[in-house]
Amino acid sequence: MEIDWSKLTFSYRPVNCHVEYHYKDGQWDKGEEKTSPFITLSIAAECLHYGQEIFEGLKAYRGKDGKVRVFRMDMNAKRFQNSAHRCCMAPVPIEMFEEAVERAIKANMDFVPPYGTGATMYIRPVLLGTGPQIGVAPASEYTFIVMVMPVGAYYKGGLQAVRACLVDEYDRAAPHGTGMVKVAGNYAASLLPHEMAKKAGFPIDLYLDAAQHKYVEEFGSSNFIAITRDGKYVTPDSPSVLPSITNDGLQQVARDLGIPVEKRPIDFMKEIGDFAEVAACGTAVVITPVSEIVRLKTGESWKMPTGDSCGPVLQKLYDTYTGIQWGALPDSHGWLKEIC
Ligand SMILES: *Cc1c(COP(=O)(O)O)cnc(C)c1O
């Protein structure tokens, strides 16, 4: 097997195997490494009819010492339990989640990219309601899958800013809906505005709160963060925003660097023109600086002072955060777990 690590993108590719566990009669089995990337489902499986499906996304990094470490997997395990609870699914015990991730990595060690390529191993846990269910009720059987794949460095050179559009025509998540959990259905609902945005030339789409269209919520698949002119890190406080682990970690790194952090409502029209730096954040890319935000409904536009590049504060946060992930900086919060 020859992989050109420098040419990898963020896309699916088959590997040695995935790990698969089944829940039946009230308990989980021991799980199995499976080489076939296909599963057999009842045509009446709950996930197919009523969307009972949740997922996670996390990464493993090969350090300079050759060791492979996974980043904050306990956080993903907890969030997975919250998502399962919201969708009435059999929760995956924290230890089982971590065991599954380790098994999937260990069985695919030759697909963990070497240090220095910027490429990582992306880990995608999925929980499906697989029991046959035609009357609306939670499934009685579940399948838990952990699949892994090597993904390329997103930035080949330095951080590149992108244009974002503000979408008013569609909402991402309702105030008491499922915005705070990683449910597959949220993504099904987001595809149309996301494709619309892409066609209009905007790689990322921003959403305001669904009730008033006044406060910033988040981007389609990443959180909103900004640096104020007086050097504070601000991010929306909203119960319908997905609690991003990247955002949480960047806040911690900011505090460590003496940067004040404010989690509070952000009034879009009042504040957007005043920020020194704006970005999206999430596991896949860590930080995506935003160069401009265009409100599609009105045609209004706000250009960020940082232009096409990344602002100095976000760059510092990015360098520190990714330095910890690669094992190049001290892991003072115990975020990394060595796999082998
Ligand atoms: C997964 C996700 C994020 C990013 O979360 P991370 O834990 O940082 O990867 C942000 N917003 C939404 C809607 C998501 O689904």
Look at the alpha carbons of 99, 318, 79, 22 in this order and tell me if their dihedral is positive or negative. negative
Q: Which atom of ligand 1 is nearest to the CA of 57?
A: 9
CA distances from 315 to 62, 213, 319 (A): 22, 30, 6
Residues 129 and 167 in one domain: no
Same domain flag for 227 and 97? no
For the cut 70, the answer to whether the pLDDT of residue 207 exceeds it is yes
Q: How far is the CA of 123 from the centre of ligand 1 (A)?
A: 14
282 close to ligand 1 (CB < 6 Angstrom): yes
Q: In sequence order, what are the residues at sequence separation of 6 or more whose Cβ sits closer than 8 angstroms to the Cβ of residue 23?
A: 29, 90, 141, 142, 143, 144
**Residues 172 and 312 grouped into a single domain:** yes
- From 116, 151, 186, the end of a domain falls on 151
State residue 1's pLDDT score: 66
| 196, pLDDT greater than 80 | yes
* Parent domain of 44: 5-151
Among 151, 183, 204, identify where a domain stops: 151
Whether residue 339 is contained in a domain is answered as no
The encoded tokens of residue 14 equal: 């088959």
User: 182 with 303, same domain?
Assistant: yes
- Grouping H, G, I as helix, E, B as strand and the rest as coil, residue 60 is strand
Whether the model clears a pTM of 0.95, i.e. scores above it, the answer is yes
Beta strands in 283-335 (DSSP E): 286-295, 301-303
pLDDT, tens digit, 9 for 90 and up, residues 79-130: 999 999 999 999 999 999 999 999 999 999 999 999 999 999 999 999 999 9
Q: How far is it, in rounded angstroms, from Cα 1 to Cα 218?
A: 40
- Whether residues 44 and 108 share a domain: the answer is yes
Q: Which residue has the tokens 């996304």?
A: 57
Residues 65-90, mean pLDDT to the nearest whole number = 98
Give the model's pLDDT for residue 132.
Answer: 97
Which amino acid residue places its CA nearest to atom 13 of ligand 1? 221
pLDDT attached to residue 155: 85
Residue of 55, 74, 172, 242 best suited for mutating to test ligand 1, as the one with most atoms within 8 Å of CB: 242
Q: Ligand 1 centre from 26 Cα, in Å?
A: 30
Q: Is the CB of 146 under 6 A from ligand 1?
A: no
Verify that 134 and 226 share a domain, yes or no: no
Assigned domain for 330 exists: no
The catalytic residue positions are: 182
Check: CB of residue 236 under 8 Å from CB of residue 180.
no
Closest residue by Cα to atom 12, ligand 1, is 221
Asked whether residue 331 is domain-assigned, the answer is no
- Do 233 and 318 fall within a single domain? yes
Look at ligand 1, atom 5, and give the residue with the nearest C-alpha. Answer: 244
C-alpha–C-alpha distance, residues 34 and 98, integer Å: 18
State residue 158's pLDDT score: 84
* pLDDT for position 235: 98
- The Cα–Cα gap between 195 and 178 comes to 21
In this structure, the answer to whether residues 144 and 170 fall within a common structural domain is no
Give me the chain's average pLDDT, please: 97
Q: Max alpha carbon distance in the chain (Å)?
A: 58
Q: Is residue 156 part of a domain?
A: no
Q: How far, in Å, is the centroid of ligand 1 from the Cα of 234? A: 17
* d(CA 158, ligand 1 centre) in Å: 22
Are 336 and 69 in contact by the 8 Å Cβ rule? The answer is: yes
Q: Do residues 98 and 195 share a domain? A: no
**In a domain? residue 262:** yes
Check if 222 has its Cβ closer than 6 Å to any atom of ligand 1.
yes
Find, among 138, 127, 131, 142, the residue nearest to 27 by Cα. 142
Overall domain count for the chain: 2
CATH number for the domain including 59? 3.30.470.10
Instruction: Provide the phi-psi class of 152: left if phi over 0, else alpha when psi is between -120 and 50, else beta.
Output: beta
Q: Are residues 66 and 122 in the same domain?
A: yes
Establish if 276 belongs to a structural domain.
yes
Distance 25 CA to ligand 1 centre (A): 32
Output the six-digit token pair for 173. 């998540």
Residue of 191, 219, 223 to test ligand 1 pocket, by largest number of atoms within 8 Å of CB: 223
Chain segment 286-325, per-residue pLDDT in tens? 999 999 999 999 999 999 999 999 999 999 999 999 999 9
Do 137 and 204 reside in the same domain of the chain? no
Tell the residue number behind the tokens 């306990």, with chain if given. Answer: 74
- Residue 157 pLDDT > 90: no
How many CB atoms are located within 10 Å of the residue 313 CB?
Answer: 21
- Give the gyration radius of the chain's Cα atoms: 20
Across the range 59-88, mean pLDDT stands at 98
Q: If you average pLDDT over residues 219-231, what whole number do you get?
A: 97
- Is there a single domain that holds both residue 172 and residue 145? no
Atom of ligand 1 nearest to the CA of 247: 8
pLDDT band per the 50, 70, 90 thresholds, residue 230: very high
CA atoms of 164 and 171, how far apart (whole Å): 16
CB distance 203 to ligand 1 below 6 Å: no
Last residue of a domain, one of 126, 151, 176: 151
Which of 53, 222, 318 for mutating ligand 1's site (highest number of atoms within 8 Å of CB)?
Answer: 222
Q: What pairs with residue 1 in β-bridges? A: none
